[in-house]
Structure 1
Amino acid sequence: MAEAHQAVVFTLNVTNRGVRIEFDRAALRQVWQSGLRAYKKRCARLRNRLRDGVYPAKPSSLWLVMLLMISAAMLGSDLSFGFAAPLNRAVQWYLKVVPPHDTYVSYMVIGITVWLTAAMLHRWLIGLLLSYHGWMYESRGSVSLRTRLWAASMRLLVGAGSGNRRVGLYSFQGALPTLPVPALGDSVRRYLTSMEPLLDDTELVEMHRLAKEFQSGVGRKLQFYLRLKSWWAPNYVSDWWEEFVYLYSREPIMINSNYYGMDCLFVQPTRVQAARAANVTWGLLQCWRRICREEMRPLFAGDSVPLCSWQYERAFATTRVPGEERDYLVHLKDTGHIAVHHAGRYYALYFRHNNRWLEPHELEAQLQQILDDKSEPAPGERQLGALTAGNRSAWARARSLHFSRGVNKTSLEALEEAAFVLALDDEAGDYDPDDDAKLNRYAKLLLHGDGCNRWFDKSFTMVVFANGRLGLNAEHSWADAPILGQIWEEVTILYDQSGSCYNSDGHCVVRSSSSPAAELPAPVRLQWDLGQACIETIDQQLQIARNLINDVELHLVVHNAFGKGAIKACSMSPDAFIQLALQLAYFRDSGGQFCLTYEASMTRLFREGRTETVRSCTNESCKFVRAFEAGIATNAELRSLVRAAAERHQSMYRDAMTGRGVDRHLFALYVVSKYCQIYSPFLDKALKSQWKLSTSQTPHGLTGKLDLTRHPELVSCGGGFGPVSYDGYGVSYIIGGEDTIFFHISSRVSCQQTSSRRFGDRICAAMRDLRSLFAE
C-alpha cells in the first residue's frame, strides 16, 4: 500500500466544453514528498558508500592533497615525479583543455590517484591487522610482544575504535577478513575428539574408520570446491546456512525456529498499553532511521576490533515469504507504516505526516483508536495469523490461491511491507516472584501466543500486553538474536525506561511539534475476503499450531542466589561455569548420561559472519562430572578438574569465534557433497547427530551504555527458544549483572524423559554445588 493510499492525484474529464483536468493538491503533495524523500535517501546511501569505501581516510583530506599538488605546480614544483607531462597531452587531446589549465587538471587527477592509493593501502593494512586473533588467547597479565605491537598498530591505524566519532555502522565492512576454511584434518580431528565422551568403543572405532576414509577420499575433493567458493564469496558458509537451515525447512517456524525476547522484570514505566506501545514503536522507528543513515555505531570486541554489521540491514521492513519448496526473504529499503493486530483485526498505521515522523503521543492517539474499535473481525480474520504458524508449503499454496488478487492481496502486501508488526494483546503479561507460573505464561505468550495472534513471518512482532508489559517474537533466518538484542536494549532499556517519556498519569509526553488530532492520518483497517476454502486451510494450520503449543513446556528460573560477581571470585569465566553446571545438571537429570551439547558462538569477527557451535560436552567436563558424582575426589582435586574443563571450554569458544570451529565446516562440506551428488557416510553420521542439549547465552550490555551498578533495576531477563530435539532441552540464559542469572528452559510435554521445571531445579542445584567447591 502506498503512503497516499486510495488518493487520486488528478482526474481527466472530457465534456462538450472540452477537456478539464482536476488536481488533488493533498495527493500531489504526498507524491512529491514521497519522491523527494526517496531521492534524499538515495543521495544519503551514495554518500555513505563513498565514505565507507575509503574509511578511515577523510574526504576532506582529498581536497587537501589536490590543493597541495596544484599549489606546488603553480609555484613551479613538480610533485608528480614526471607523470604530469605525459598526462598533460592526454588531457589536451581528450578533454580539450588548453595550457596552463591542462597542468592543473593533470595534477588534480594525480592527486586523486595518490589519495585513493593511500586510502586503499590504509584499509588493506587494517584488514591485515584484523586477521590477527592471537590477542584472544592471551590473558591480561601475560601479553606477548607480538600482541602489544598489534595493539599499538591498531591504535595508530584505526584510532580509538568504539570512541571514534567518525565511525559509521558499515565503515569497517570492506576491511573485515573473510572467514577462513579450516584444514580438513583439523576439523575431522576436533570432531572425533568431541565425540569421545558420547560414543562407546565400538562406535568410536567405526567413526574413526569412516573419518579416515573421508579424509583420504572424497573429503579432499569437497574441500577443494569449498576453498574455491571461499576465494570469491564474502563468507563461505553464511548464505548456505540461511538457505538450507532456515529457508528450505518445511516445518512450522513458530516454536521450531522463531525466538522471543522479554521486558525488564523489575521496573515498569507505565501501565497504559497504548502509551507504552507508542513510545517503544517511536524508539524502534528512530533506531531504524539511525541504521539507514548508518548513525548507529558498530560493535567492537575489546573496544578496538570491529564486528560485522551486515545483519542490521534487514532488521526492519523484512518478511519471510513462503514457497512450495523453500521460503524467500523480501526486504524493502523504505516503508511508511507499521502493521497492528488487535482483537483479531489488522490495521496499517502510518507514522509519517506532513513530511515528518509522528511523535509518541500522536502514535498513542492512533493506537488508542484501534483499542477502542469494537467492530468484529471478518470471517476467518481472527485466525489468519495461523497461516504463518503452520506448515510452510501449505501456507505457500494458500497464499498463491487466495491472496494473489483483490483486497486480500492488498491487505497482505500491507502486512508484509510494514516496518514491523505490533500486537496489542488483551491479556496481561507479568512477573510475580512468589508465583513463577505467571512468568512462564508471560514467556509462552511471547514464544507462540495463541497460535494466530502473531505474524510469525515478519522480521519481528512487538507484543504489548494489556498492562503495559511488552516483548517480541522474532523470525530467525534474517539475523541472529544479538542483532535484535542490541536494538531491543537500546530502545526498551536506555530510551523507554529513562523516566522522561511518560507523564505522571502514564501517557506519553506531549511535544510542541504535534498537529491537531483531526489532521493525523487515521489507522487503516485492512480488509479481507476469505472464502470457505481459505478458512478451512486456516483452521488446519491452526490445529497444527495448537498441537505444537500444547506440547511445549517452558519454565523460567530467576537464579538470584549468586551471579557473575561470585563466579568471577572463583577465577572462572561465567559462561564456562554455567556450561559446566548444565553438564552436571543433565547428567543427573538423564540418569548418568552425557549428550551432544550445542552452544552458540558468533563469528562476526569476519565479514558476514553469523554463528558457530561450541561443543560444550568435552572429555574434561565429563571427567569432572563423574568425579564429582562419585564423591571420592577431594575438593582440591575437583577444583583442578573444574579449571581444566573451564580452560578447555574457553579454548573451544575462542576457536569457534576465530573460524576454527567444526560444525559450520562440516555443514558446508555436506552441502558441497549434495551439489556434487556424492554420498559420504562420515558426513551423513556427523550431520544427523541430535543436539539433546541446545544452549545459548543472550548477550547483555551490547550498547555499552547500560550501567547496572547504578541502575540494577534495568536488568533484562533476555529471551528463549523452543526445544531443538524431541527428547532434549533448549536452554537460553542471560547473566544479568553481578547477582542474577536468568534461565529459559524448554522441552516437549509428550516426552516422558524430560521436564523443564525439573531440569531448572537441577541447574540451580548444580550451580550451588559448583560454587561450594570454591567456598574454602
Structure 2
Amino acid sequence: MASLLSVQCVASLRKSRTYLRTAALGIKRHYSSKKESSTEYLSQSVVPLMHYQNSLPRLPIPKLEDTVRRYLAAQRPLLDDDQFRTTEKIAQDFQNGVGKQLQEELVAQDQNNKHTSYISEPWLNKFLSNRFTLIQNNPFLLFNPDPKTAYNDQLVRATNLVGSVVRFMKTLRAGFQEPEVFHLNPSESERTRSIRWVPSSLSRPLDISQFLYFFNTTRIPKRGRDELFTDEKARHLLVMRKGNMYVFDVVDRDGNLLKPAEIQSHLKHILSDPTPAAAFPLGILTSENRDVWAGLRDKLIAVGNAEDLWSVESALFCLSLDDESMRDYIHISHNMLHADGCNRWFDKSFTVILTKDGQAAINFEHSWGNGLAILLFLNEIFQDTTERPLVNPGSAAAAVDSASAVRRLKFNLDSELENGIRRAKENFDSTVSTLTIDTVAFKKGGKTQLKKSKMSPDAVVQLAFQMGFLRQYGQTVATYEACSTAAFRHGRTETLRSATIHTKRCSHAFVLQPGQHSAEQLQAMLSECSKYHVQLTKEAAMGQGFDRHLFALRYLANSKSEPLHSLYTEPAYAAINHNILSTSTLASPGMILGGFTPVVPDGFGAGYSVHDDWIQCNVTSYLTRNVHEFVECVHKSLEDIFTVLEGKTLG
C-alpha cells in the first residue's frame, strides 16, 4: 500500500506540524502563504499548485551495478549459503550480459520521454493489468472523530465532509492549492513567511500529478487491462445506501458549491428513503475478477444502462452511507476495507464512507496513485471539517424539493446480470470470510523515547515485525515497506527492503539466543539495525532502490517479447517478490487508523503509526496465517526492544 524522501528526511520530520509518512516522508504545510479562504475554496495560495511541477528533477535510473549489489544484499538474509552463491552467480551474469543491454535501452527510452519517469507507465500497467478483485488492493484510512462529539452525527458529518471535499476539488482545479513541499529543515523554513521564498537548499517540491486523477475518475474494467476514465464536466455526487445508488449535483452551473443546507437536505432525503435494500446490488460487481466484471459491464450497457452507468463512473466521488454502527477497530477495519460489498463502488478513485455512528474513512482504488496523495487530502479535509464546518448539529436542512433534485438510479437487469451479481456475492463472501484482522496498541513507549535513544522509530517497528515473525514461524521472509519517490516528476514508490542481515542477526539474538548477550551488546545490534534502515530509507526515497529498476528492465524485455534472463526465473527472485510481510506506516493528524489486505495469500498486511508515547499496528491476514498470534509476538518484541533500550537485561 501506500508510500516517501531525502538525506535529512528523518530529522526534518521532528518539527513538522503535519506528519505524513509512508516509510519516511515529512510534509510541512505553511498556511502563512495562503489568503483567507472563501466559502468556495479551502485556501488561496500565493503560489500556484503547478508552480514547481515542470522543474521537478527526473527520477534517476540507478546504475546497474548498484542495483545488483542492493538486490544481493536484500537476498542475503533470505537464502542459505548455497542458495546465495547460485543467486550471486546468476545476478553477476545478468549484470555483465543481458542486463547491460537492457540498461542501455532503458536509459535511451527514458531520454526520449523526459515528460515522465521511467517507472510511471510500467507501474500503472502493473496495476491495471491485475485481474484480482479490488478488495485485495484497495486500502482504507480512518478519519479521527470530530473532537466536537455532536458533529459526529452521520448527517452532519456527511454534509460537512461533502462540502469540504468539493471545496478541496475547487481549490485544486483553480490552482489555489498550495504546492506540496518537503522541508529539509522545517525550523529554518518556518522563518520564511512565504513558500515562494524558501530556498531550494531548504525545501524540495513534490510531484502532484496524481491529483489529476482524484475527482470524476473511475477504473473501468476491460478484458486483459483496465482503463482510467475521467470526466471533469460532471458536477454530481454518487451516494450509496443499502446498495441503492443516488446522484445529485453538488456544484451548480456556475461552478459554485451547492448551499450546505441544500446538501444536508438531499442527504437527509437519502437517509430517510424507505426503499428497501437492493435485491441485486450492482456495486458487488466491482469486487469481481476484473475480466468477469468487464464482460458483465458490457452486458449492462447492451441492455440499456449506459446513461446510469455514466452517472456512476463520472461522479465527483462516491459517498457510502452505512446503516451499521461500529463496535471496535477490528469491526471498523472490516467495514472500511470491504463491509458486505453491496454498498461500495470499489472502482471509484476514492469513496468516503460514513457509518451510522459517524465513523468516517476513505477507501481508495490504488492504480492511479499512492497513499501519500490520499494522506495529504485526508488531512486537509479533516482540518477543514473540524475548524470550518459548513453545518452544525442545530442547522436546519433547506426547504427544497430534494425528491426532485436527487435521482435514484434504476438499472435494467436480465437473468444473466442477476446471476452474475449472485455469483459475485458468493465469491465476495468466500474471500472476506477468510480475512482476519487484529490490532496492536503498544503503550509502553513511542517516538519520544526512541529518539532519545537515537533510534529510528520506523526501524524499530520494522525490527519488531522481523522479530515477531521469527518468534512465530522461525523464519526471516521477504518484507516490503512502501517508500514514496514523490520528490521526482511522476515518481511513484520504491520498495524499502527492511529484512536485512542486521535485523536477522538482531532478531536471532533476541528470540533464539535468550540470555546469551548483554544489554550493551543488544543495544549495539539495535543501533546497527537503525542506522542501516535509515540508509535504506534515504536510498529508496531518492530512487536508489533495486525493485523498481529490476521491474522496469523486465517490463522492457517483455515488451520486446524477449526470453527473460534466469535472474527473473530462478526461485530466489520469485521468493523475494512474494512479500509475506507487506507493511506501510500511516500517520497523519487527521487519521487514527489505516489498513490493507496482505499482498499474497500466506502473508500479513501491516499498517502502523508511531505516536509520541505509543505504537499502533493494524494487521490483516488470511486463515493461512494466525494474525492474533502474530500481533502478540510483535507486542512481545516491542517490549523486549524497549526493555533493552532502557539498559535492562531480558528476563
Indicate the TM-score class for this superposition, using the shorter chain for normalisation.
0.7 to 0.9
Residue of structure 2 aligned with 1:329, choices 225, 228, 240: 228
Q: CA deviation at 1:260?
A: 0.8
Conserved? CA contact 1:274–1:368, under 8 Å: yes
Identical positions, percent: 30
Higher Cα Rg: structure 1 or 2?
A: 1
Partners of 2:237 and 2:11 in 1: how far apart? 47
For residues 18-37 of structure 1, the aligned pairs below 5 Å read none
The partner residue of 2:424 within 541, 546, 551 is 541
Q: Is the 8 A contact 1:482 1:698 kept in 2?
A: no
Is 1:720 the counterpart of 2:595 in the alignment? yes
How far is the alpha carbon of 1:520 from its aligned partner? Answer: 9.1
Residue of 248, 260, 283 corresponding to 1:349: 248
Q: 1:563 to 1:502 in 2, by over 3 A?
A: farther
- Could you report, residue by residue, the CA deviation over 1:719-764 in whole angstroms, capped at 9, with x for unpaired residues? 110011222211011234x123321100002x1xx22222112222
The question of 1:693 aligning with 2:571 is answered no
Map of 1:409 onto structure 2: 306
- Note the alpha carbon deviations across 1:434-482, whole angstroms, 9 max, x for none: xxxx220111011011022210000011111111221121100011012
Residue 181 of structure 1 deviates from its aligned partner by 0.8
Could you tell me which residue of structure 2 aligns to residue 386 of structure 1? 284
Aligned equivalent of 1:339: 238
Matches within 5 A, 1:265-280: 267=147, 268-280=149-161
With over 3 angstroms needed to count, the CA separation of the structure-2 counterparts of 1:466 and 1:568, relative to structure 1, is: same
1:161 touches 1:305 (CA, 8 Å); kept in 2? no
Q: Tell me if 1:733 matches 2:604.
A: no
Equivalent of 1:497, from 386, 391, 394?
386
Name the counterpart of 1:770.
641
CA contact under 8 A between 2:480 and 2:498: conserved in structure 1?
yes
Distance 1:422 1:700 in 2: 22
Kept in 1: contact 2:480–2:497 (CA 8 A): yes
Task: Determine the structure 2 residue equivalent to 1:678.
Answer: 563
- 2:265 counterpart letter in structure 1: A
**Cα gap change, 1:561 to 1:137, in 2 (>3 Å):** closer
Residue from 286, 311, 315 that aligns with 2:210: 311
Would the alpha carbon gap of residues 139 and 732 (structure 1) be closer, same or farther in structure 2, given more than 3 Å must change? closer
Q: Distance in 2 between matches of 1:440 and 1:527?
A: 34
What corresponds to 2:197 in structure 1? none
For 1:657 and 1:589, how far apart are their aligned partners in 2?
31
Consecutive unaligned residues in structure 2, runs of 5 or more: 14-28, 34-44, 187-202
SS in 2 for 1:330: strand
Q: 1:251 deviation in Å? A: 1.0
Q: 2: distance between equivalents of 1:519 and 1:760?
A: 48
Instruction: Give the alignment partner of residue 333 of structure 2, picking from 425, 428, 443.
Output: 443
Aligned residue for 2:77, secondary structure, equals coil
1:2-401 matched pairs, under 5 angstroms: 166-233=46-113, 234-244=116-126, 246-254=127-135, 256-264=136-144, 267=147, 268-302=149-183, 303=186, 304-353=203-252, 355=254, 356-376=256-276, 380=280, 383-401=281-299
The answer on whether the counterparts of 2:261 and 2:391 sit within 8 Å (CA) in structure 1 is: no
Residue 622 of structure 1 aligns with which residue?
Answer: 504
> Is the counterpart of residue 668 in structure 1 residue 568 in structure 2?
no
Instruction: Give the letter for the 2:487 counterpart.
Output: L
Moved more, 679-688 or 690-699: 679-688
| Contact preservation (8 Å) 2:167, 2:257 | no
- Deviation string 1:165-186 (CA, Å, 9 cap, x unpaired) is 5322211111111111111111
Structure 1: how far apart are the matches of 2:614 and 2:31?
28
What amino acid maps onto 2:243 in structure 1?
Answer: G
Matched, 1:608 2:497: no
**Unaligned runs of at least 5 residues, structure 1:** 1-131, 141-159, 431-437, 702-714
- Following the alignment from structure 2 to structure 1, what is the Cα–Cα distance between the partners of residues 171 and 182? 21
What's 1:650 paired with?
A: 534
CA separation in 2, counterparts of 1:427 and 1:377? Answer: 13
- Measured after TM superposition, the shift of residue 296 of structure 1 is 1.4
Q: In 1, distance between residues paired with 2:57 and 2:32?
A: 22
In the TM superposition, what is the alpha-carbon distance from 1:411 to its structure 2 partner?
1.1
Deviation at 1:538, TM superposition (A): 1.2
**SS at structure 1 position matched to 2:645:** coil
In structure 2, C-alpha distance between the alignment counterparts of 1:138 and 1:483, rounded to whole Å:
22
Distance 1:519 1:723 in 2: 42
State the alpha-carbon separation in 1 of the partners of residues 137 and 353 from structure 2: 18
1:275–1:361 Cα contact (<8 Å) kept: no
Within 5 A, what are the aligned runs for 1:587-606?
587-590=470-473, 592-606=474-488
Match of 1:435 in 2: none
* Contact 2:168-2:381 at 8 Å conserved across structures: yes
Q: Does the aligned pair in 2 maintain the 1:180–1:230 contact within 8 Å?
A: no
The alignment status of 1:452 with 2:336, answered yes or no, reads no
Q: For 2:613, give the aligned amino acid.
A: D
1 CA distance for matches of 2:321 and 2:31? 37
CA contact (8 A) 1:161 1:300 kept: no
**Equivalent residues, number:** 589
Q: By how many angstroms is 1:259 displaced?
A: 0.7
Change (3 A) 1:721 1:138: closer
CA deviation vs aligned residue, 1:493-551 (integer Å, no higher than 9, x gap): x1222375553xx25x46xxx97424896211111110111110111111111111101
Name the CA shift for 1:163/1:230 in 2 (closer, same or farther; >3 Å): farther
1:354 Cα deviation from its structure 2 partner: 6.6
Partner of residue 369, structure 2 = 479
CA contact under 8 A between 2:64 and 2:95: conserved in structure 1?
yes
Match among 412, 416, 420 for residue 529 of structure 1:
412
2:631 is aligned to 760
Flag the 1:668–1:469 CA change in 2: closer, same or farther, 3 A. Answer: same
Q: How far, CA to CA, are the matches of 1:730 and 1:197 in structure 2? A: 21
Deviation at 1:599, TM superposition (A): 0.6
Alpha-carbon distance between aligned partners in 2 of 1:195 and 1:232, rounded to the nearest angstrom:
33
Partner of 1:155: none
Aligned residue among 508, 522, 546 for 1:638: 522
In the alignment, what sits opposite 1:424? 321
Query: What's the CA shift string for 1:61-118, capped at 9, x where partnerless?
Result: xxxxxxxxxxxxxxxxxxxxxxxxxxxxxxxxxxxxxxxxxxxxxxxxxxxxxxxxxx
Name the CA shift for 1:222/1:162 in 2 (closer, same or farther; >3 Å). Answer: farther
2:38 aligned partner? none
The code of the aligned residue for 1:441 comes to H
Alignment equivalent of 1:465, drawn from 330, 347, 355: 355
SS in structure 1 opposite 2:134? coil
* Closer/same/farther in 2, CA of residues 547 and 378 from structure 1, 3 Å limit: closer
Preserved contact between residue 694 and residue 729 of structure 1 (Cα < 8 Å): yes
- State how far apart, in whole Å, the 2-side matches of 1:455 and 1:474 are: 10
The one-character-per-residue Cα deviations of 1:649-681 (angstroms, maximum 9, x if unpaired) are 000110001111010000001101112223211
| TM-score normalised per structure 2 | 0.86
Deviation digits for residues 239-267 of structure 1 (CA, Å, limit 9, x no counterpart): 110112x100111111x111111121584
CA contact (8 A) 2:269 2:402 kept: no
Alignment CA distance shift 1:603-1:403 (3 Å):
same
Relative contact order: is structure 1 or structure 2 higher (C-alpha 8 Å, sep ≥ 6)?
Answer: 2
8 A Cα contact 1:260 1:474, kept in partner = yes
**Separation (CA, whole Å) in 2 of partners of 1:133 and 1:214:** 30
8 Å contact 1:551–1:748 — kept in the other structure? yes
